[in-house]
Every structure is written in C-alpha cells, then in structure tokens.
A and B are shown apart, each in its own frame.
Chain A
Amino acid sequence: MSTTTTAVAQRGISLKGLTKTFGQGSAAVEALKGVDLDIEPGELVVILGPSGSGKTTLINIIGGIESASSGEVTVAGENLGGRNPADLSGFRRDHVGFVFQFFNLIPTLTARENVEVIVELTGKGDKAAIPGLLDEVGLSDRGENFPSQLSGGEQQRVSLARALATAPDILLADEPTGALDLATGRQILQLLQRLNKEGRTIVIVTHNASIAQIANRVVTVVDGRIDSVKRNAKPADAAKVMW
C-alpha cells in the first residue's frame, strides 16, 4: 500500500479534508464539506452527482483554477494548499489539461493553430507532435479548418487535442459531452478511454450516470460530500454506452 501512496503523491491526486466555502457570513455557501479522495496515476475516475453538488468546484480545485478553503491538496507531487490560482499557471502548464463543456476555441485560428497556440504560449509540448495529436483525436484531415467549419464533436476533439498539447499528467474534463448528441458524445468518451489506456490519468465530471460505466472508479458527490466510491471491476466500452 505504501508504494501506491508514494505513487499517488508523485503523479496522482490526493485530497484530505478538502472544504470550499463561497462568500461570507449569511451569504456563505459551503460547496465542499470535507472531501478525502486519492486518485492513482493511470486511473479513469468519473465524478458523478446532481446539479449543485460541488463537482465542478472539486475538479477546479484539482486543476488549480480555484483554491480550497481548507484541507490538503496534492496533485502530481505539488502541494496546492493555500496557493492563489493566479500563481498556479506554472503548475497547470506542467501537469494538467482541461476540457470544458463548451469548447472555447479561438475562432480566428484553424484547428491545428488552436493546438499550436497553446504550445507557443506555454512553451510546453512539441510543435512537431501536433499532427500526431490531431491524428489521435481523428482530425488529421481537418487541421486547416476553422472552428466555424467544424461540427460540435469535431470542435470538442480539437479542444481535447489542445488539452493534450502540453503533455499533461492529468486530464480533467467537466461535462465533456454536455453539448453533444449521443453519437458524438460517445466518440469523445471513446477517445478519453483510449487516452487512459495509453496511461493518462483522467477525471471526468458529469451528472450522467450512464457515463460512469466507463470508469475504473465512480465517485458520487452529494451536497458537498463523497457519498460513495465504487470500483468497476470491468469498465464498459465507451462505444456501447447508452443514455
């Protein structure tokens, strides 16, 4: 067990007694009320929960775009406790990639350039690897298209390639299929599953219980607390998921 803990501390995610309160006094909202969770390197974890339960807050804290009110947060060997999100861009560029429900692509850049611009601006990753990344997300022949010329699913794949451009240890996806239909959503899930099999740690946030079938572990959050943690002995193939 001790070897695993070390590995978690080195490359995985470790949360201890994590709380998050928004606002102050009577307007205070306790979004997270004490979360303990370890995610091991190479795991695919789905965080499931009803709207407003604190899923986004949780994944944002892991990704370093939001700070915890108390508790310990260690991600990829870095202690994020008490650090200001504005000072965490170094951490993000070294360790995490984000995929959001809305793709937020830059409309004036082509698919390839949308990936390239991240490499250029962060100084991380390798431009030569970009064609390979686009190939991996199945867009090798659409690289020169502008976002307005791509479907929603294709745009989400570009944003996936963008998240991978800095070669992150951990991929964080908040409702990655939220804006997509079943078929395109499934393709994205398949991609995430494949990336996980290649060894990446992936955390997906969703309120869609069906998606949970593809995970190694399903963490259910209810009202700011972990309600249950279930291990899937045999994760389902994303291609067969229905909702």
Chain B
Amino acid sequence: MRATTHKSIRDLLRQRAQVVAVGITIMLGVTLYVGSASAFQNLTVSYAYTYDRLSLADLTSTGGDGDAIAAAALAAGAEEAIARIQVDPPVLIDDTKLVGRVVGLPTNAHPTVNDVEVLTGSYFDPGATGQVLLERHAAETFGLGVGDTVEVFAGGSWHSLTVQGTVGSAEYVWPSRSRQEILADSRSFAILYVPEEAAEDWLGAPNQSAVLLPADASPALEDQVTRAMRAAGAVDVTTQEDQPSNAALHEDLKGFDEISVTLPLLFLSAASVAAYVMLSRRILQERPVIGTLMASGARRGRILRHYLAQGIAIGLIGSVVGTVAGGFLNGAITRAYTSAIGIPDTLVSNHPSILITGMSFGFVVGALGALAPALKASRTAPAEAMRSSSPLHGPGPWGRLVARLGRLPVTTRMALRDIGRSRRRTIATMIGTTLSLIIVLASVGLMTSMTKMLDVQFAEVQREDATVMVDATQSGFPQSLDDLADVTAVEPIVAGPVTAIANGRSYVTSVTGFDLGTAMHGFRTSGGRPIDLPADGVLAGVETASLLDVETGDTIVLATASGEISVTLAGFVDEPFGTLVYGSRSLIAPVLPDTGVDTYLVSFADGVDRDALRQTITQMPGIVSYADSQALVASATAYLGLFWAFVGVFIVLGVILAFALVYVTMAVSVVERTNELATLRAAGVPTRRVAWTIATENLAATALGLPFGLVLGVITAAALNSSFSSDLFRLDLVLGWWPLPAAALGVLVAAALSQWPAARAVRRIDVARIVRERAI
C-alpha cells in the first residue's frame, strides 16, 4: 500500500465518529432512495402484470348502444372489444341491503376484455342463469363462499343467485364504485358478475363497451378509436389511466414517486455539507504538512486526489451499505403495501438502474463534499509550511459589534463572535438545521393536513351519519325513519352519475340534489367559507375549473342516461374528496333516470350504538341499502395506512439528520479549537464549562438556521401536499399552531443532545499532549 493510502485510512479512522455520522447520512439517503424508488417501480410493474394478465380495458365507454360502440372500436383498429351491461341495482346479502353492481359476463367462455380470475369455486356453467361470481372484496366483507346465495333487485323484483365462485378483477383491485367514491363503506358495495343473458333480461341491453388496444398502440390510434366510439354514441370514454381503481391506486402511489426522490435528495445534500465541513477542517489543520509537501515538490494533482479520494471513499461505503439496506427496505415496503391493499400480484425485484443510481449518489455526494476542500488543499502555498500555526484573522465587523456589548458575560460574547469567526461551520450548522426542519415539517404538514382533510370531509362537508335508500313504492318514508328515537333528522336527496360537459370537454362525475338550506352537507369555498346552495344553477368542485375550462357564471351541460340539462355554474366548492356537482333537488331530479329508489340522508343523536341502528334500519321493510359515514373514515384510514407509516419514518429520519449534522459540526468545532480549549483546561476551567461555551455557540448557530428552516419547511410542505392533490382528493396545507414551535424545539433538542459527544471530546482533550505538540 502506498504511504498516502495509509495516511487516508488513518485520517479517516482518527475522525471515526465524524466519518460514521457522514456515512450514516449518505446511507440513509441512499437507503431511502433505493427502497422507495424500487418499491414504486415494483408496484407499477405488479399492477401492469395484473392488468395484462386479466386484460384490463384500455378504453371503456358508457352510454349508447354497447354493441354498436364495440363494433365501431374494432373497425377503428381496436384489438378486442366487448359489449356488456353494468348496472348498480339494490342487492341483498345476508341481512344487509346495499347498492351493488351487476356486471354481465358470457357463460360459455371468459370475456376477452376485463377478465376475472377465479379464486374459489369455478367459472359459470355454460348457459347458467341463476349463478353469480362474487368479487373477492364482497366475499371477504360478508364471509360468503360457494353455495351461498345473494339477491338482486331488478325489473321490479328480487332474484336469488347462487355463488358459483369468488373472483378477482383488475377493475377492482381497489374497490371503488367510481372516481368520486374512492372511499366507501365496505358493507355498502358489492360487485356481482352475473350471466349476461340473465342480466340483460332484467336490466336491459349492454350499456358499456370495453376495448383493448394493440400492445404497441400509438396515441394517434387511441385517439382514433376514442373518436369512433364517441361517434357511435358513447356518452363518455374513460381511459385505463382514469379507470377508478387504477386511478385510486396511482393516486396513492404518487406520494411514493415524489418522496422517493425529494427526501433522499435532502439527505444527500445534508451529507455533502457534512463531508465538506469535516474535510475542510482537516485540511485547515494539515496546512503546514501540505505546505511542506508542496515545498518539497509534491504535485497539486496528487494532493487533490488524496483528499478527493477520502470523500469518495466515505460516499461509496455509505452508498454500498445504503443500497443493500435499500434492497431490503424495497421488499418490505412492497410486501407491506400489496398485502395492506390486497394487490393480486406482487413482483419484488431490485432494478439495476435504481441500484446504480443509488451507488452513484454516494459517489457524487462524497466527491462534491470533498471537492472544494481538496481544491483548496492543492492550492496551499508552500510558504504555509513556515507558519507554525494558522494565521490569526481579525475579528471583522461582527466581532467588533459584539465587542461593544460590554454588559454581556465574556463567554456569551465569545459564543456570539464565534458564529462569525467560522462562517463555514456556522453556515453548515444552519443548513443542517434548515434541512432537518424541511423534512420534519414536510412530514408533519402531510400528517396534519391529512387529519384536517378527513375532519373537513366527514365533519364539515358530509354531515350525515348514514345514507339510506328506500324502495320508492314503499309508503311511510321518510316519516318512519324520523320516528326512530336515535334519528335526529332526515332529508331526501337525489343523486346519480352524470357527465359534465363544457367547451367541448367532458368529465364523468356524480351530481347530488339537496333541499335548499340542507343541514346534511356543508358547502365551502376555497377559503373554507360557507356558501349556500343556489336555487338555480349548480356548485361544482374547484377542479372543474381546469377540467372543463369554466368559471363562475358559465353554462355547463349535465348529461345522464335519461337526458341532459344546461345549468349555470353558480360557484365552486372546495372539498377534500372527489370533484362533484351539487344543485337543488328540484333542479337535479328531472335529469336523473328513475331508479325506483328514494335516497335519504340521516343524522343521529350523539353517542348512539351505530351497529344497532344499522341493524334496526336495514330490517325495516322497503330499505334497499344503508351506508354508514363512519365506515368511510375507516376506509380512508386503510387507504392512507401506508402513508401514515411513512410520515412517521420521515419525522424520525429528520431528527436523525439533525443529530448527525449538528454532531459533525460540533465535533469539528472542538477539534478546530483544541489549543484554546486545552489552554482553558490547563487554567483549571471545569470541563463542563468549556463544553458549555462550545454548546452555546452551536446552539446559537442552530437557532440562526431556524427561521430559514421554518419558512422553507412550510413551503416544501405546501409543495408536497399539492403534489398529492388531484380531482380525486385535494390536500391543502393545514399546519395548525403547534408544529412550527414543536419542530423548532425538536431540532434544538436534537442539537442540545448532540452536545453530549462534544462534551466528551472536550473531556478527552489531552492537555499535556497538546501543550507538548505545540511547544516543539
């Protein structure tokens, strides 16, 4: 081994603790990157695999004549196209009434588009009519299996069907009824695959077509097929991207995508700063040695490489460990996610490009951190060798200013001036503080915003406790609901799917008509200010503005299976979940088809037994379905489960980062001033007090970083939140009063705790050795 290599290794060993701190920061950054980027990749690949295996439609039309549209799609270049019926009729499973979904399937063979995978039992017997394939979510929720029966209300009567098998479907990986209803009471939705002859017999002709494009389809072909389908009468054509389950899952993943890059980058830049501080300090200390080497003719390039190599070595070690750890994290995240959500296929692999990127992150970070110090070292003048100690710098304007603060204790003045003395170190400490606060506040911001979002949705916007659907021919409603002791209010509504159209654009959503002055729904504008439901005209979710390119006062068309109306857009509402349309019941009712069902929103007295009430209401004659709003909160929590776990991890990592950085700068400040500190120790100053003077300075530098960190943290939190937002759910930054002071305090505490090793370093100063080294 060369002498310089020996030196590098010994140097790194001598600064062990700092090297470890820098290495850990790099490692965390790389681990996070590799773990989350690979998990994201895996999930994307897993979905694609499932979709491919079960032939998930590329395009789905609603409205019009399904058969004609399918034929038009094939003629326009589609690879496969099927027509099918899909209707949401009342369904009875055990004693639970709900609005289910009936989808017609051929009995003689699996469909060529939107296939199902039989999990238990078997596919339909050819020509069967009384059989049903139950989608796995409903099978799990209600504990049903082969041989059990369910009933469907269609064509004015109940039909009993026997479960032939339970199935999985690419359309319902996440069971959402529509894009507007990502979250649902699991006991209020069930997908039933029914033999198509029977379904069409009860419910009418195919109203959907599902289309598969060739594998290598160009956007132009997709466009051509879409236009052909519209021309053939399709009211709306939904792409696979916008398919409700797929969109919900991708929405959920979007966070991963953002976080897998942003967060590691924060860590890696922090690591770079730490490496920079550490190596700068050593080079400052070794200046006389470097000067001597230069004086005896050492090459600049050699010196440059010597120090650069040390930074790169730390970076590479950190990234190798980080990549390995990231590989494990990847598997853990992927499996946790797929099992939490219930994704049929889990493909875990480590993607070479991600591993290579992770490794090169470490290399780049190490090299970047070392570059400036190494350049400085290579430019050391040989004359530096002649100076026995680094030259004294004047106090500067800041030092002079502080000198005038004669009333303060000298130790305080010293701490204040030291902030200006080693600007590099102060700035590094400030950057560390800032980065930690960014990570912590961004995560806490996501958490508080998410909590607030759920609160807004389920306390301010949706104020009902349950939604009850009743057979329209049943008399006595809604009075019989109102008569229940625990029910405090009942209001009729009308609701149904609708296509909103304006400026040649369309958006498939839901429309709900309330009584004017409803107590069941809070309409709020972007600022959270309440507005009233207009007597004429409609309110629409704020995303509508960009989706349809409309503003308040414009006219939009609401189209349904039974007709369309032109209405004035009276204003926008800001609601966390979905982008919906609201109007008065008298305005909306005429455009919705008659389903033979009346819908009521119900609110309960405080503290009722919700299960008992569900039981009571669903057993009333004429009740078609019942959905509890509280169950939606549970669904939301499940959907966001992984998100919570991640937020927790980020907060912890942010604090670790604060520790690592403050520790490095602290250790460096002890080493840089060993001589002064040794002198103080020789004069009999207690270790505690010496350590305290250093701590004061570092805490002051940390405190200086706080304002930057708080401001940038809030900005980052807002950016991260908006990256999660879409027409499916809106996440506005709501921090509340406590996170800012708490985060600031947390970082200060982390800084204060990392004084402990610094105090140990002060205690370990070998006064005699330093005195002797200096007195050569």
Contact = CB atoms under 8 A, between A and B. Distances in A.
Nearest to A113: B410
Nearest to B676: A106
A85 B767 contact: yes
A87 B682 CA distance: 12
A89 interface: yes
Interface string B552-572: 000000000000000000000
B417 A108 contact: yes
Contacts of A175: 775
Contacts of B421: 107-108
A92 B682 contact: yes
A72 B678 CA distance: 25
Contacts of B393: 107, 148
B293 to A, nearest CB: 23
Contacts of A91: 684
B768 A109 contact: no
Contacts of A86: 687, 763
Nearest to A96: B684
A25 interface: no
Interface string A35-46: 000000000000
Contact of B685 (A94, A100, A121, A149): A121
Contacts of A60: 768, 771-772
A90 to B, nearest CB: 7
Output the residue of A101, A109, A175 with the most chain B CB within 10 A. Answer: A109
Contacts of B388: 102, 179
Nearest to A92: B684
Interface string B760-776: 00010001100110110
Using C-beta atoms within 8 Å of the partner chain, give the interface range for chain A. 35 or more
Contacts, number: 121
A138 B682 CA distance: 24
A92 B680 CA distance: 11
A92 B772 CA distance: 18
B683 to A, nearest CB: 5
B675 A109 contact: no
A119 to B, nearest CB: 8
Interface string A142-167: 00101111000000000000110110
A100 B679 CA distance: 9
A154 B452 CA distance: 66
A124 interface: yes
B399 interface: yes
A102 B684 contact: no
A91 B686 CA distance: 11
A122 B680 CA distance: 9
Nearest to B690: A121
Contacts of B741: none
Contacts of A165: 683
A49 interface: no
Given A102-B389, A102-B675, A166-B684, A144 B403 contact: yes
Given A100-B679, A117-B414, A107 B771 contact: no
Given A109-B417, A116-B410, A166-B683, A146 B775 contact: no
B16 interface: no
B410 A93 contact: no
Nearest to B767: A65
B683 A118 contact: yes
Interface string B371-412: 000000000000000001100111100010001000001110
A173 to B, nearest CB: 11
Interface in B723-775: 763, 767-768, 771-772, 774-775
A109 B405 CA distance: 12
Nearest to A172: B682
Contacts of B722: none
B403 to A, nearest CB: 6
Contacts of A149: 394
B684 A89 contact: yes
Interface residues of B, number: 38
B385 to A, nearest CB: 17
Contacts of A117: 410-411, 414, 680
B418 interface: yes
B410 A120 contact: yes
A100 B774 contact: yes
A97 B767 CA distance: 14
B394 to A, nearest CB: 5
Contacts of B687: 86, 89
A89 B683 CA distance: 7
B413 interface: yes
Nearest to B682: A98
Nearest to A67: B768
B686 A65 contact: no
B585 interface: no
Nearest to B764: A86
A85 B411 contact: no
A146 B397 CA distance: 12
A21 B699 CA distance: 41
A97 B411 CA distance: 20
B108 interface: no
Contacts of B410: 109, 113, 116-117, 120
Contacts of A220: none
Contacts of B521: none
Interface string B664-704: 00000000000110111111111101100100000000000
B775 A178 contact: yes
Contact of A85 (B403, B418, B685, B768): B768
A116 B411 CA distance: 9
A56 B774 CA distance: 12
A100 B768 CA distance: 11
A65 B682 contact: yes
A116 to B, nearest CB: 5
B774 A107 contact: no
A127 B341 CA distance: 71
A67 to B, nearest CB: 9
A16 B52 CA distance: 92
Contacts of A102: 388-389, 675, 774-775
Contacts of A179: 388
A109 B394 contact: no
A147 B425 CA distance: 22
A174 interface: yes
A26 B123 CA distance: 86
B679 to A, nearest CB: 4
B739 to A, nearest CB: 36
A63 to B, nearest CB: 7
A66 interface: yes
B415 to A, nearest CB: 9
A193 interface: no
Contacts of B681: 65, 89
Given A89-B685, A113-B413, A121 B693 contact: yes
B607 to A, nearest CB: 63
A122 B693 CA distance: 13
B407 to A, nearest CB: 13
Contacts of A144: 403
Given A110-B403, A148-B394, A101 B775 contact: yes
A63 B774 contact: no
B510 to A, nearest CB: 68
Output the residue of B392, B395, B418, B679 with the most chain A CB within 10 A. Answer: B679
A183 B146 CA distance: 108
Contacts of B685: 89, 93, 118, 121-122
Given A98-B683, A101-B775, A147-B392, 9 more contacts: A91-B684, A97-B683, A102-B389, A102-B774, A104-B676, A104-B678, A105-B676, A117-B414, A121-B686
Q: Return the 9 tightest CB-CB contacts between A and B, nearest first.
A: A93-B684, A92-B684, A108-B417, A66-B768, A148-B392, A104-B679, A121-B685, A101-B775, A65-B767
24 contacts: A56-B772, A65-B768, A65-B771, A86-B763, A89-B684, A89-B686, A89-B687, A92-B683, A93-B685, A98-B682, A100-B679, A100-B774, A101-B774, A101-B775, A107-B395, A108-B421, A113-B403, A117-B410, A120-B410, A122-B684, A122-B686, A146-B394, A147-B392, A162-B683
